[in-house]
Chain A
Amino acid sequence: MDEMKEVIKNYVIREYVEDDTDVTYDTPLISGGIVDSFSMVSLKRFLENKYQIAIPDDKATPEAFDSVNKICLLVNEYIK
């Protein structure tokens, strides 16, 4: 789980943060404006590719994607 958190956090920093904004496991990503609703599609795609899962669209909500911790909980639901 810790490794997954680190992988997702680093991906978010690399892909969605332009400056030196600090991102922790609890930083609000969607409500905090770091990842917008359009970009959520690419984040979802990354998670699906990386963990070989399919996240249903109705589960990929702004709330479920709002922090690294929440994303990890979601991903773990679909890892076999």
Chain B
Amino acid sequence: MSNIGSYEERIKNFDWNIAEKELDYKPGNILNIGWYCSDRICQMGKADKPGLIWEGSTGITKKYTYNDIRLATNTIGQFLRDLGVRPEDRVCLFMDKIPELYLGFLGVLKIGAIVQPLFSAFGDESLFIRLDNAETTAIITQRKHAPKIRKILDKMPYLKHIIIVDADPLKPLGEREVAFDLEAAPKVDQFEIHPTTAESPSVLHYTSGTTGQPKGVKHVHYSLISQYLTSKWVLDLRDSDVYWCTADPGWVTGTSYGIIGSFSNGVTQCVLDAGFSAENWYRFIEKYKITMWYSAPTAIRSLMKAGEEVVKKFDLSSLRHLASVGEPLNSEAVIWSERVFGKPFLDTYWQTETGSIMISNYPGMKIKPGSMGKPFPGITATVIHPETYEPFNETGKIGLIALKPGWPSMMRMYWRNEETYKKKFQNGWYLPGDRSSIDNEGYFWFVGRDDDVINTGGHLVSPFEVESALLEHPAVAESAVVAKPDFVNMEVVKAFVTLKPGFVASKDLDLDIMNFVRKKLSPLAMPQEIEFIDTLPKTRSGKIMRRILHAKEWGEEIGDTSTLEND
């Protein structure tokens, strides 16, 4: 029997106070995610239970019991407090998937500061935009990533501390840098956790939109209620589970379900900090006897591409439940996983702003391969008309996904961007920006984004950001960026570029532009293909018609071209 039991019964009798009661939380009480994910589990008698098992790319492993997690997060919190970091200051985590990332996340929350996780592959420009928007006080990082921070340091007077977790004792530290060695630091057993409450800010994740700069999505400590319960009912986490969430905590899945959901449920979590390789992933599952595996369609399709022979080399019989997130999970991947692993990957749908799973397939429920599933109990979801914002009366109509606001992990604001925040709500609904339909049994079917944002490997990339970066390359006169279909990543970035006089299209220039964007923004944002063209399609008022280029890539009808400049 799964944790959720009967979906229909849960829908009928749902109240978020189910989670509050299980967590012994009463409205108005102190609520600190850092405490719930470490101290509370120890108080429940699981201090000696393994909480985090980490393996690095060279095979080195580190194991932390829940008491180790409690002590390490206290120690990090104390270090930050001694530096002068105050409640609600923004503390960025800019690290690979090393233990300090997971433990630092909880340590920052324990002192009431706001944790700002950023993907460690971000280039200096992407990093600067996000740190500048948040006016980040401190950043915790590794020696290997420090050069990117040094490059932009002069532009960030508010950034007081750069904390290096693996500093080389033989080399001098740079300006504002301080070394912190978690293993060598004296363990802090008694620690006064900051008395945050439900609406105290907790996490600031950045997400990209079609236009403008990335938005800082602010969450609060009360998000725990959603993240705890969805981990229990959708991921079906149980005390005996060995759980592996493959997401990087630089993105929301890696924190909501790679830290908060798993630790608050007191399960044993494994982390593999290594690049993708099918063989290595299967070896990892076999070695640690992973029971619950939460991954992404891109990874699943990469495994499919690697073939089935490699699967046979490993004993994967420990797996009992699989789930997926990040982009729509195609029916082929669901059917393939059922054949190869003996169980299907269950698709889950949500986004940075929602903080937790909104629509999902549940253990025990009938699965329709390719469907997003049904709304989580307590979530009112529907599909509305894109112009009237009224729900459709009939099934099968394609419209905008709409969610009734009010669940615990809903974002509270876009950081310093009230105007964009307000635009996300229409007619009393929150609009995630995706289109779908609902069938006659209440299952949602994903259709696509409602904007130009590119979903590559489950990560959103703003065409605006990539176009802006391209324009900084000395050879580029104009650019337009669209999604291009891709088997593994669903979509990849494609750029159309016109050149300045004196520059000639060549393979070397193509590579130079690719690397330029990769270093400035991130590998995700790097165009996987660049097409040099003489002119970009524009309206008569000079606006680039991205949709024409998009249609060309997807083999779709170009549609109305009456406003096209050269028509």
Residues in A lying within 8 Å of B, measured CB to CB: 15, 18-19, 21, 28-33, 35-39, 41-42, 45-46, 48-49, 61-63, 66
User: Distance (Å) between the CB of A22 and the closest chain B CB?
Assistant: 12
Known: A18-B145, A39-B518. A66 touches B277 (CB 8 A): yes
Instruction: State which residues 260-302 of B face A: CB under 8 Å.
Output: 273-277, 279-280, 302
- The 10 A-B pairs with the shortest beta carbon distances in the complex, nearest first, are A38-B523, A30-B275, A19-B144, A39-B523, A32-B57, A49-B507, A31-B275, A42-B514, A45-B511, A18-B147
- Let me know if B121 and A36 touch, CB within 8 A: yes
How many chain B residues sit at the interface, stated as a range, is 20 to 34
- Let me know if B147 and A37 touch, CB within 8 A: no
- Let me know if A32 and B58 touch, CB within 8 A: yes
Chain A residues with CB below 8 A from B143, complex form: 19
- Let me know if B147 and A36 touch, CB within 8 A: no
Known: A19-B144, A42-B514, A42-B515. A32 touches B526 (CB 8 A): no
Residues in B lying within 8 Å of A, measured CB to CB: 57-58, 96, 121, 143-148, 273-277, 279-280, 302, 306, 456-457, 507-508, 510-511, 514-515, 518, 523-524, 526, 528
A45 to B145, CA, bound (A): 25
- Let me know if A33 and B146 touch, CB within 8 A: no
A38 to B457, CA, bound (A): 9
- Let me know if B276 and A63 touch, CB within 8 A: no
A21 to B280, CA, bound (A): 23
Known: A18-B148, A42-B518. A31 touches B277 (CB 8 A): yes
Chain A residues with CB below 8 A from B526, complex form: 38-39, 41-42
A19 to B146, CA, bound (A): 8
- Let me know if A37 and B514 touch, CB within 8 A: no
User: Distance (Å) between the CB of B59 and the closest chain A CB?
Assistant: 10
A37 to B489, CA, bound (A): 10
A47 to B145, CA, bound (A): 26
A21 to B275, CA, bound (A): 16
User: Distance (Å) between the CB of A7 and the closest chain B CB?
Assistant: 14
Chain A residues with CB below 8 A from B524, complex form: 38
Known: A42-B515, A49-B508. A62 touches B275 (CB 8 A): yes
User: Distance (Å) between the CB of A49 and the closest chain B CB?
Assistant: 5
